[in-house]
Amino acid sequence: MGLDKAKDNVLYACKAMIDKQLAFGTGGNISERVDNEDLFVITPSGMDYMQIKTEDLIVVDFDGNIVEGNRKPSIETSMHRLILKNRPDVKSVIHTHSFYATTFASSKNAVELPIYNTEGLYYLGANINIAEYAPSGSEKLANLAVSTIGDKKAVLLKNHGAICVGKSMIEALDVAQVLERACKAVLLANLFGGVQEISRESNS
């Protein structure tokens, strides 16, 4: 039951990523923890989101072993594995190459994404850090992602994209959408002097 549900949620997110313009083609990857087991389901490598079916998904354990599936798992499987292993509060992980998040993360002077409205406070919680660049699929990138995201709901990857997490796939998708909107807004606001940041304290 838990495994089937995790597969259903990953498939749902594949379609949602396209519908919400968070991905196109094969860019990015999605995973979800299997309830009460040290396993997770992840999307295959190099396969268009709109073509992925249940039988294309891969089940991996927390040691990195493939438990089920005939396809090659995502190149970023180690990144998903380490996040899920180190964050027991996280059930779902979405890695996007969405346009505005990637653009902001590639900006020369960007250090972190500021929170500027109540939507950001609610969904993101705090300013979002940017992990330094490392090659796609590398253990260095996986370790940087884990250390930089900390206990937050998202992290930007320098010259790469974003990782968004949640206690459910719906929450992870919401975080990804809000992050994309926030990156777009800050990029535009920087043309007019930047954004005025807010905090939970100033909003209470």
Phi, psi (deg, nearest 5) at residue 93:
-130, 130
What would the two tokens of residue 1 be? Answer: 């039951």
Catalytic status, residue 132: no
Q: What letter does residue 44 receive in the DSSP assignment?
A: B
Q: Which residues pair with 131 in a beta bridge?
A: 157
Whether 110 and 104 have beta carbons less than 8 Å apart is answered as yes
What would the two tokens of residue 135 be? Answer: 């090659």
The DSSP result for 160-182, as a single string, is TEEEEEESSHHHHHHHHHHHHHH
Distance, CA of 38 to CA of 144 (rounded, Å):
22
Which of the residues 32, 55, 76, 201 is marked catalytic?
A: 76
Which whole-number Å values give the CA distances from 4 to 95, 136, 172, 181, in the listed order? 21, 29, 19, 32
Whether 113 and 127 have beta carbons less than 8 Å apart is answered as yes
Distance, CA of 30 to CA of 14 (rounded, Å):
7
Give me the active site residues, please: 76
